[in-house]
Amino acid sequence: MMHPMRRTLTTVWEWLDDRIGLAAFQAIAKKKEVPVHRHTLWYYLGGMTLFLFIVQLGTGALLLIYYRPSAEEAYESIQFLMAEVQFGWLIRSIHHWAANLMILALFLHMFSVLLLKAFWKPRELTWISGFFLFGLSLTFGFTGYLLPWNELAYFATRVGTQIIAVVPVVGETMLRVLRGGDDVTGATLTRFYAIHVALLPATALVMLGLHLFLVQRHGMSVPPSVEDAGGPKRVMPFFPNFLLRDLVGWLTALAILAALAAYLPAELGAKADPFASAPAGIKPEWYFMFMFQSLKYLPAHILWFEGEVVGILAFAAGGVYLLLIPFIDRHTGREHTRLFTWITIGIIAFIIVLTYLGYTANPTA
């Protein structure tokens, strides 16, 4: 005799299966396996990034209810949200911290994929879609930073957008399109708002769909060091073993988010004033700090170019290198060169050192 609850569930399952074809998904879930070896830990970072992105979609939608995108009202609407709306501080603080943790998880995910060579054939497109997701996430961060319309964000945006003007020929036009005029004004705010809440989420969801499809299609990449040692000794089923471990990570992330939001709520600072001097201690979000700090060290002129043009072109070249790494560092035969691993380690060291200097170096020296 079947338990009545189980019978109901079976009926619902069969009804859905007839219409959607659930059995196919079940078959995929049953077949999917995750290799177990000493680098398995790195497999969790993509899922962690995905979880934090979902938190961003939820909290972002909630923030839209009170936020007003105009130079006159944006700052005040956030003040109202933080001071008057019940749990307004919590929603905004979680959005703030989940953004930071997501970028952190994304950096770790990206560099682990780079070092473990998970971009090798046939995963070139998985890497490229991931690289675009990385770019979209940085753009999310950059556009979201301006929305509270405070002093720090205002100047960070002035500097950050001015960089576009470096592009030859069309730079000035692109700058005007991005800012909605010659300067950072309320017109910039509405543009960033549209990008942040509509354009980026739509693009990111499509790109994410492609990325996850490709990850599903090719399965988990086994690092060359493990392959050289004879391949992974065992595997674990994705469902439920790996997913349950994922869930533990997500619950931990949620606890960390709640703690950060409660003890270090997001700050608002002073309202932006387009006719005030940039305050000392002006700084971008931490994930742009290494670029910001590098620009401080460049002299006014390098050969016959302006210093910052050289710096920005160097960062652009770095981005292109990362995008095309699957075609530069190719897996040819059994031997593989260590050169690209050392370049990656060099990039990581550069980012860490410049970020550290950004927070510790004397701002006027």
Q: Which two tokens stand for residue 354?
A: 């410049």
Among 183, 198, 205, 229, interactor with another protein by CB under 8 A? 183
Angle between helices 124-146 and 307-323 (to 10 degrees): 140
Question: How far apart, in whole angstroms, are the C-alpha atoms of residue 276 and residue 70?
Answer: 19
Cα separation values, 155 from 50, 93, 248, 274, 290, Å: 31, 22, 40, 9, 17
CA dihedral 265, 266, 270, 276 (to 10 degrees): 150
Q: Does the N-terminal peptide bond of residue 122 adopt cis geometry, omega within 30 degrees of 0? A: yes
Minimum CB separation of residue 107 from another protein in Å reads: 24
Question: Among residues 49 and 293, whose Cβ is nearest to another protein?
Answer: 293
Map the footprint of another protein across residues 277-316, applying CB under 8 A. 277-282, 292, 295-296, 298-301, 306-308
Give the distance, in angstroms, between the CA of residue 298 and the centroid of all CA atoms in the same chain: 27
Cβ proximity to another protein, 173 vs 332, nearer residue: 173
Cβ-based nearer residue to another protein, 160 or 232 = 160
Question: How far apart are alpha carbons 199 and 31 in whole angstroms?
Answer: 36
CB distance 287 to 138 below 8 Å = yes
State which residue, 310 or 351, has the beta carbon closest to another protein: 310
Cis peptide bond upstream of 240, omega within 30: yes
Interacting residues with another protein between 130 and 159 (CB under 8 A): 155, 158-159
d(CA 2, CA 14): 16
Q: Where are the beta strands (DSSP E) in 6-115?
A: 33-36
Nearest-approach distance from CB 166 to another protein, in angstroms = 10
Q: Report phi then psi at 68, rounded to 5.
A: -125, 115
* 186 is a site residue for another protein (CB under 8 A): no
Name the residue nearer to another protein (CB basis): 298 or 323: 298
When asked if residue 68 is in the footprint of another protein (CB under 8 A), the reply is: no
Find the binder of another protein among 99, 136, 163, 208 (CB under 8 A). Answer: 163
Number of residues that bind another protein (CB under 8 A): 36
Task: Give dist(CA 177, CA 171) in Å, integer.
Answer: 10
Separation between Cα atoms, residue 112 and residue 119, nearest integer Å:
10
Minimum Å gap between C-beta 279 and another protein is 6
Smaller CB separation from another protein, 113 or 354:
354
Q: Does residue 333 interact with another protein by CB under 8 A?
A: no
Does residue 212 bind another protein (CB under 8 A)? no
240-279: contacts with another protein (CB under 8 A): 274-279
Residue 343 as a binder of another protein (CB under 8 A): the answer is: no
Nearer to another protein, 86 or 277 (CB): 277
Q: Which residues bind another protein (CB under 8 A)?
A: 155, 158-159, 162-163, 173, 176-177, 179-183, 187, 274-282, 292, 295-296, 298-301, 306-308, 363-365
